[in-house]
């Protein structure tokens, strides 16, 4: 999903894993699209660790920048999205698009353990989010 969002955004995008996302890199960003799986109703541990590591160094330094979220979920996705929204409220970021939640429908132990495949339709939604985000930045809308 993250790769499709970056593809849609084109040359404006810098695709980073949560582990690669350091305060200095994030400080240089015009905006953010946070992409993660929802695990047990929460954002992934790696995403939580990124916010733990970067929150205070960016506090008071990124206000007003746009953001969006894309969550892959087994059934719901709103828990992870809500957690991210609460955290970035402290950064005073502005949501620029409705949350994109891709429900992969993994409910049984076998489905949960298996490799997931995001549909081409959902990848198209991801590319659209990336291109909308990049175009909005280019035009100065956000």
Could you tell me the CATH number of the domain that includes residue 56?
Answer: 3.40.50.360
Q: How many domains does the chain have?
A: 1
What pLDDT score was predicted for residue 26?
Answer: 98
What pLDDT score was predicted for residue 63?
Answer: 98
Sign of CA dihedral 89, 96, 12, 35: positive
- Give, for all 142 residues of the chain, the pLDDT tens digit: 999 999 999 998 999 999 999 999 999 999 999 999 998 899 999 999 999 999 999 999 999 999 999 999 988 999 999 999 999 999 999 999 999 999 998 888 898 889 999 999 999 999 999 999 999 999 999 8
DSSP class per residue in the chain: -HHHHHHHHGGG-----TTT--HHHHHT-S-EEEEEEEETTEE-HHHHHHHHHHHHHHTTTSTT-EEEEEEEESS--HHHHHHHHHHHHHHT-EE-S--EEEE----SHHHHHSPP---HHHHHHHHHHHHHHHHHHHHT--
Q: What is the extent of the structural domain holding 30?
A: 2-139
pTM of the model: 0.95
């Amino acid at each position: 999903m993250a790769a499709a969002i970056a593809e849609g955004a084109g040359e404006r995008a810098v695709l980073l894993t949560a582990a690669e996302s350091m305060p200095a890199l994030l400080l240089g960003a015009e905006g953010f699209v946070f992409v993660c799986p929802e695990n047990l109703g929460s954002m992934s541990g790696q995403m939580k660790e990124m916010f733990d590591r970067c929150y205070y160094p960016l506090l008071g330094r990124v206000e007003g920048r746009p953001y969006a979220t894309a969550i892959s979920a087994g059934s719901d996705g709103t828990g992870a999205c809500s957690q991210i929204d609460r955290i970035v409220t402290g950064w005073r970021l502005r949501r620029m698009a409705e949350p994109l939640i891709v429900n992969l429908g993994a409910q049984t132990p076998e489905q949960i353990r298996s490799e997931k495949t995001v549909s081409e339709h959902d990848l198209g939604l991801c590319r659209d989010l990336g291109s909308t985000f990049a175009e909005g930045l280019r035009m100065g809308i956000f």
